[in-house]
Chains A and B, each alone.
Chain A
């Protein structure tokens, strides 16, 4: 199960958990599983999230692989100038 780290202000939508374990093979599956398990996270996911999987930032790719031992951090979708 991949370990998904939620930033602090998201944790209240996931029963206060800092880390949520998710069974997923891709970033897209991980996002969908997160929303199924914790519907309160839906607005944040729909607003657009980037992720870091095992240290690598995935800005916007649902097909990017997630391994069973992966450590995933959710990040706000970044803008640039």
Chain B
């Protein structure tokens, strides 16, 4: 299908072929983590702390081990000692040591011949706890008198005198902030809060691990990054990475939460203790919510100066974020650079602290840190626009970053598409639809850096002229189709003649996970280079057959051609012809490329949302929602639109309903989807999308990542729309009905 909206010269890029995984997924044939089974397999269950903070006095597994069919129990005593740094943190989180640090922290694990028996056995493992003081709130954790939950967590960056729960400190900026505020017509300052939210992937964590007494093992696992699983599991268990082969399953969502380990090494430790029998471990939803990485909760002060014409003269933020009981997990390092990334402001000051608290070890969540930062900064921009009666898009166009702007965090933006997204949003029908009673409109922009990273790809030419591409980045959002399109475009063959497989750790060099919106960018870039290598070799084979110099042969339209009239007159030699006789012309033909990919192009987006708020209940209904985002080049536009819609849906959930609710006892009160309310299809209208294409010069086809930016603007956009509908500004997410109703009542009073 040719692309008809933009004249690009591409034959395949920009088209929407059928999804390569579509049939498997709709028929149930796709194999997810929990679908994998092996002969003689055992099933595991995990004993988890019911306390937010407790000393583990004693673990007695004798009653569990006495059950017929129970084959192994592991505790921290079964894991090696002497680990340091993040390896120690990973091990501490996999199984608690002397202390359980949060409600749900794993304390022991058991393997038995059935899942039910394993669960029964887990209940028979008796753990004696000495309950300790706890703290779960980010501001409370750094208040005077708060219990220090782990000694010595502060790294080099923390100045003396800060609370013992502060693990990291960061500060940067430019320009004279005080002079900037003095030059403003209005200066406003508020505190904004976001609660921890979970990635909410539909597929819970699941794996099957097998390891013999010799320390050699294998794992089948649902993950975003199987080399990370290999390295981390090997570190926790004290084995060599080469002795662990990890194969990824299909993945039912990750959003950053599957870039690390939580319980995976337990399957291997249990297997080794159970004589090498494979062990399956599948988390329940409750375990996922209690014990796998949500994002951080945040408390954020923002101060802005603005002239009456909308010029922003200065900005200042102070962010406090907690990422659970382990240091290094809150995204302050990402949130701060994202805070003002959409703007070109002459004076800025950024400051942040990371705090630890008795909560689960946070993990990356789609554009880590950027949604919270956007909620704080974009909300205040909106408040000041309303106060000065300025159009919010016009203010963003006036102050927005553009090509050549020095970013708020240092680097200069090369070629970016923020202003194009703002112009398209301004011109979209959704921005001019008249609003009715109790309705409001919100606008916000968002940013994500995007990422390159370690990447290794191999392409093999088949005997029939097809191509198989081996990549190491699990396909979360359509990267197989997009990489297939790029390879087919490069080779000049039909898309259907390219198959892209995600392969195991033994098949390629190290690949970083699918994270940072990098898979289509980095694996795609490497796949194009691998295809070019194969084309060079195929030209060499044709040249040898024709008896001419390889330099006199060029590749186009899926075949080797003589490069000009002086090269001789030979009919084109197709990839099928070359492949069919490659065994007799020198052997198999493949291309390979490995690189730490650079040339990343930042991604900007602008969202417009209309809401209606029921003044009697505080319930918010999303009436219409528009995502405009720069994709660079949309390789497969349907997947790009899906990423935009998915990001918006998650952001709407964060804005309206999702939150971790902790009781006074430090226990998570809502660890099921009934009480942890993610948006469902009936909650949302069709989310409108506009794909902006400002090609990234750092990629052969102009790709930017598209996966993460879309979750960033919904938080402030929805809160601003509610403010427009009600006159009440919510500065603490989520904008749940009770909170909105209370704000309406307060505004009326």
B309, CB-defined interface residue at 8 Å:
no
B32, CB-defined interface residue at 8 Å:
no
Q: Which of B364, B410, B453 interacts with A52 by CB under 8 Å? A: B410
CB of B708 within 8 A of CB of A81, answer yes
Which residues of A in the span 29-81 have a Cβ within 8 Å of any Cβ on B? 40, 43-44, 47, 52, 54-61, 64, 73, 75-81
Q: For the complex formed, measure the closest distance between the CB of B6 and the CB atoms of chain A, giving whole angstroms.
A: 27
CA distance A7 to B366 in the complex (A): 25
A81 with B368, Cβ < 8 A, contacts A9-B171, A57-B411 known: yes
B211, CB-defined interface residue at 8 Å:
no
Least CB separation from A59: chain B residue: B452
Query: Chain A interface secondary structure, helix, strand, loop or mixed?
Result: mixed
CA distance A43 to B171 in the complex (A): 17
Stretch in B123-131, B513-521, B722-730 with 4+ CB within 8 Å of A: B513-521
Least CB separation from B331: chain A residue: A79
Q: Which of B411, B413, B454, B517 interacts with A80 by CB under 8 Å? A: B517
CB of A7 within 8 A of CB of B598, answer no
CB of B598 within 8 A of CB of A78, answer no
Q: For the complex formed, measure the closest distance between the CB of B340 and the CB atoms of chain A, giving whole angstroms.
A: 14
Q: For the complex formed, measure the closest distance between the CB of A48 and the CB atoms of chain B, giving whole angstroms.
A: 10
Query: Chain B interface secondary structure, helix, strand, loop or mixed?
Result: loop
Q: For the complex formed, measure the closest distance between the CB of B281 and the CB atoms of chain A, giving whole angstroms.
A: 24
CB of B170 within 8 A of CB of A9, answer yes
Q: Specify which chain B residues have a CB less than 8 angstroms from the CB of A47 in the assembled complex.
A: 155-156
CB of A43 within 8 A of CB of B411, answer no
Q: Specify which chain A residues have a CB less than 8 angstroms from the CB of B169 in the assembled complex.
A: 9
CA distance A12 to B333 in the complex (A): 18
User: A13, A52, A78 — which one has the most chain B CB atoms within 10 A of its CB?
Assistant: A78
CA distance A10 to B172 in the complex (A): 9
Q: Which of B334, B516, B596 interacts with A61 by CB under 8 Å? A: B596
Least CB separation from B454: chain A residue: A60
B367, CB-defined interface residue at 8 Å:
yes
B662, CB-defined interface residue at 8 Å:
no
CA distance A7 to B337 in the complex (A): 11
CB of B172 within 8 A of CB of A7, answer yes
CB of B600 within 8 A of CB of A59, answer yes
B414, CB-defined interface residue at 8 Å:
yes
A80 with B368, Cβ < 8 A, contacts A8-B173, A57-B600, A60-B596 known: yes
Q: For the complex formed, measure the closest distance between the CB of A42 and the CB atoms of chain B, giving whole angstroms.
A: 8
B256, CB-defined interface residue at 8 Å:
yes
CA distance A77 to B335 in the complex (A): 12
Q: Specify which chain A residues have a CB less than 8 angstroms from the CB of B318 in the assembled complex.
A: none
Q: Which of A73, A76, A77, A80 interacts with B170 by CB under 8 Å? A: A76
Which residues of B in the span 422-470 have a Cβ within 8 Å of any Cβ on A? 448-454
CB of B410 within 8 A of CB of A44, answer no
Q: Specify which chain A residues have a CB less than 8 angstroms from the CB of B173 in the assembled complex.
A: 8
CA distance A81 to B707 in the complex (A): 9
Q: Specify which chain B residues have a CB less than 8 angstroms from the CB of A9 in the assembled complex.
A: 157, 159, 169-172
User: B199, B257, B515, B596 — which one has the most chain A CB atoms within 10 A of its CB?
Assistant: B596
Q: Specify which chain A residues have a CB less than 8 angstroms from the CB of B170 in the assembled complex.
A: 7, 9, 76
A73 with B411, Cβ < 8 A, contacts A78-B516, A80-B517, A81-B367 known: yes
CB of B410 within 8 A of CB of A5, answer yes
Q: Which of A56, A57, A61, A80 interacts with B515 by CB under 8 Å? A: A80
CA distance A75 to B170 in the complex (A): 11
CA distance A79 to B448 in the complex (A): 11
Q: Specify which chain B residues have a CB less than 8 angstroms from the CB of A73 in the assembled complex.
A: 409-411
CB of B410 within 8 A of CB of A75, answer yes
B555, CB-defined interface residue at 8 Å:
no
CA distance A76 to B449 in the complex (A): 12
Q: Specify which chain B residues have a CB less than 8 angstroms from the CB of A64 in the assembled complex.
A: 598
Q: Specify which chain B residues have a CB less than 8 angstroms from the CB of A58 in the assembled complex.
A: 598
Q: Which of B257, B364, B453 interacts with A59 by CB under 8 Å? A: B453
Q: In the complex, given contacts A9-B159, A52-B412, A79-B516, what are 18 additional A-B residue pairs having Cβ atoms less than 8 angstroms apart?
A: A7-B171, A8-B171, A9-B169, A43-B155, A55-B412, A59-B451, A59-B600, A75-B409, A75-B411, A79-B256, A79-B259, A80-B364, A80-B367, A80-B516, A80-B517, A80-B518, A81-B257, A81-B368
Q: Which A residues contact B (CB, under 8 angstroms)? A: 5, 7-10, 12-13, 40, 43-44, 47, 52, 54-61, 64, 73, 75-81
Q: What are 13 A-B residue pairs whose CB atoms fall within 8 Å in the complex? A: A7-B172, A57-B411, A57-B449, A57-B600, A60-B596, A61-B596, A64-B598, A73-B411, A76-B334, A77-B333, A78-B449, A79-B516, A80-B449
Q: Which B residues contact A (CB, under 8 angstroms)? A: 155-157, 159, 169-173, 199, 255-257, 259, 331, 333-334, 337, 364-368, 406, 409-414, 448-454, 515-518, 596, 598, 600, 707-708
Please name the 8 residue pairs, one residue from A and one from B, whose CB atoms are nearest each other, closest first.
A80-B516, A81-B256, A55-B412, A73-B410, A52-B411, A76-B333, A7-B172, A43-B156
